[in-house]
């Protein structure tokens, strides 16, 4: 009788539970404002945002959704904002990757919350970085007025979107907009600052001020259709370029327009015929530990992600708490930087803790990243890091210098970078492993991810010490029970803020994914990045 690996079974059960929870939450988000709002949309002869995207992209093709959890558990006092009221992703139209942005009119009539603006800016950033055509399916009531102060005036607010429209136009990045519902006030600039604009008869309208505001401002009585409907804006004003009878025809016309777009010079990333890994991707479920503190062999994770499970290790026996290797993912040549979670022994006999970046591992990673830039190889970072090593020995060894070296190289890297947060991503370790602040082309998290300055227990202990000192200074001495209750409260609050859902709701990560989707995300990301030429790598000041 074969021996049962209880630890592997426990890991698998926990991961499958997390994935089931992920899918349950996604299914709810996919309903937008709910089934009644969807039915109301259909009664108007309109498709929903997700139905429009499904009809727009090639049948049977992949769609990489960005920010499905944006706004998750935010704005509850206003009724919530599923997916930030806008569906965004990379899809294939006529075998060509495009960024698609579709307002969800079932969520507050497609109104813009602060996170909606951030998500739209992220979509435009992806289009600009990768020189991808961007398609806007507009159906929005405009800014959510009760929160206008948080979305209107600042650098990364609503107005930045129109600046990006102009910047993309100057860069030659095609922009096509379809007015498929309301398009009012400042939002009216987005489709008209695009290269071409379509409008749907009967449902689409665009104007700087709606009938109520016109009446209030100048006393004129006018209905919506006369003011800015399809006939007015196509036949009289000439603001829009194509008048469409319905959603279906509009989407088919967009496909025809995309089919005629020319192509940019490719970056030249190397790709050969893909090979599947020798090991099943789902075996990751049993390998990845259910407890964040337990060690495991990260190389076994890699063998289930890379083509033919083949890896060429760089400085294999040096700086062992980071593994660097060349490989292929779906045929694409990649350089992989991953934290090693095993406890390792160095040649000098020193024991190093897994998941911690030491001076030698930081030095190795920095040199490997420079090599990948030299050879025009995209970089893939897989996070399970608790930070840089601390203590007297590390400080005397120059850990700050070596850590700064790695951060410097990651910051100046010009080849596209992709980050997968598998487990912990704490403190400066997040920075060195190309966290959100370091411009990864895509950054996604597994359901097991944790993003924070430090772990919940450590943070709670630090905060607890501060609280206890404050109590003592006031002459108060909490009992053991009260102290434990305070500790648990602090830890829970901190733990809640480290979850992948908290990160995804604020767009610190682009998506939460099933680990088996990791290959797809990386491959689609490199395919997108291959549309934009790579600048010359110059690391600047770097101590050797």
For residue 98, give both structure tokens: 């495009």
Which 3 state secondary structure label does DSSP give 311?
A: coil
Give dist(CA 173, CA 532) in Å, integer.
11
Question: What gap in Å lies between CA 324 and CA 410, rounded to an integer?
Answer: 14
Task: Report the C-alpha gap between 74 and 427 in whole angstroms.
Answer: 25
pLDDT over 80 at 526, yes or no: yes
C-alpha distance from residue 99 to each of 123, 160, 434 (Å): 7, 18, 23
- What is the structure's pLDDT at 497? 87
Residue 459's pLDDT band, with cuts at 50, 70 and 90, is low
Predicted confidence (pLDDT) at residue 219 exceeds the cutoff of 60:
yes
The residues, any chain, with a CB within 8 Å of residue 510's CB and separated by 6 or more, are 66, 67, 122, 442, 443, 444, 504
Binning pLDDT at 50, 70 and 90, where does residue 385 land? very high
Please tell me the pTM assigned to this model. Answer: 0.93
Q: What distance in Å separates the CA atoms of residue 216 and residue 204, rounded to the nearest whole number?
A: 23
pLDDT-based confidence at 4, cuts 50/70/90? low
Helix (H) or strand (E) holding 115: helix 114-130
State the burial class of residue 479 (Cβ atoms within 10 Å of its Cβ: 0-12, 13-18, 19+): exposed
CB 102 within 8 A of CB 49: yes
Convert the pLDDT of each residue in 162-184 to its tens digit: 999 999 999 999 999 999 998 88
Q: Show the tokens assigned to 22.
A: 């992920």
- Reported as a single tens digit per residue, the pLDDT across 152-161 is 777 778 789 9
Quote the pLDDT of residue 542. 61
Work out the mean pLDDT of the chain and round it to a whole number: 91
**The dihedral of CA 213, 214, 218, 220: what is its sign?**
negative
Of 259, 256, 223, the residue nearest 241 (C-alpha): 256
Would you state the pLDDT for residue 1? 42
Helical axes 518-529 vs 114-130, angle rounded to 10°:
60
pLDDT value at residue 212: 80
Rounded distance, CA 127 to CA 309, Å? 32
pLDDT digits over 307-329, tens only? 999 999 999 999 999 999 999 99
């Amino acid at each position: 009788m074969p021996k049962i690996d209880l630890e592997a079974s426990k890991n698998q059960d926990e991961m499958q539970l997390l994935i089931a929870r992920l899918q349950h939450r996604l299914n709810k988000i996919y309903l937008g404002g709910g089934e009644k709002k969807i039915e109301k949309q259909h009664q108007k002869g309109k498709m929903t945002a997700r139905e429009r995207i499904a009809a727009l992209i090639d049948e049977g093709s992949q769609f990489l959704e960005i920010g499905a959890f944006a706004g998750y558990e935010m704005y509850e006092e206003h009724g919530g904002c599923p997916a930030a009221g806008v569906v965004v992703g990379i899809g294939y139209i006529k075998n060509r990757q495009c960024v698609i942005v579709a307002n969800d009119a079932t969520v507050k009539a497609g109104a813009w919350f602060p996170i909606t603006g951030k998500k739209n800016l992220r979509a435009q950033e992806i289009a600009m970085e990768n020189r991808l055509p961007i398609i806007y399916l507009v159906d929005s009531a405009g800014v959510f007025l009760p929160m206008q102060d948080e979305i209107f005036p600042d650098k990364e607010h609503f107005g930045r979107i129109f600046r990006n429209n102009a910047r993309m136009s100057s860069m030659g990045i095609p922009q096509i907009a379809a007015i498929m519902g309301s398009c009012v006030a400042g939002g009216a600039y987005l489709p008209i600052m695009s290269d071409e604009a379509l409008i749907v008869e009967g449902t689409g309208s665009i104007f700087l001020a709606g009938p109520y505001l016109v009446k209030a401002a100048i006393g004129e009585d006018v209905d919506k259709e006369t003011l800015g409907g399809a006939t007015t804006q196509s036949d009289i004003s000439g603001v829009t370029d194509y008048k469409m009878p319905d959603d279906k025809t509009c989407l088919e016309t967009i496909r025809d327009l995309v089919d005629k777009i020319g192509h940019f010079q490719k970056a030249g990333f190397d790709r050969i015929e893909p090979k599947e890994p020798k090991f099943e991707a789902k075996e990751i479920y049993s390998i990845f530990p259910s407890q964040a503190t337990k060690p495991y062999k990260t190389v076994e994770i890699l063998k289930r992600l890379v083509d033919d499970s083949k890896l060429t290790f760089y400085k294999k026996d040096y700086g062992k708490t980071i593994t660097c290797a060349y490989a292929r993912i779906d045929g694409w040549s990649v350089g992989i930087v991953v934290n090693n979670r095993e406890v390792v022994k160095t040649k000098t006999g020193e024991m190093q803790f897994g998941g911690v970046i030491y001076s030698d591992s930081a030095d190795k990673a920095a040199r490997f990243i420079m090599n990948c830039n030299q050879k025009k190889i995209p970089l893939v970072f897989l996070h399970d890091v608790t930070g840089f090593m601390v203590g007297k020995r590390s400080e005397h060894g120059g850990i700050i210098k070596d850590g700064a070296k790695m951060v410097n190289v990651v910051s100046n890297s010009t080849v596209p970078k992709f980050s997968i947060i598998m487990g912990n991503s704490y403190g400066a370790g997040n920075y060195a492993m190309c966290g959100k602040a370091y411009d990864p082309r895509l950054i996604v998290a597994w359901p097991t991810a944790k993003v924070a300055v430090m772990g919940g227990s450590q943070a709670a202990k630090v905060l607890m010490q501060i609280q206890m000192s404050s109590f003592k200074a006031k002459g108060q001495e909490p009992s053991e029970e009260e102290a434990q209750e305070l500790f648990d409260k602090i830890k829970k609050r901190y733990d809640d803020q480290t979850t992948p859902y908290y990160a995804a709701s604020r767009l610190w990560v682009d998506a939460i994914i099933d680990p088996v989707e990791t290959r797809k995300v990386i491959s689609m990301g490199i395919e997108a990045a291959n549309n934009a030429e790579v600048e010359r790598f110059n690391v600047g000041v770097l101590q050797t």
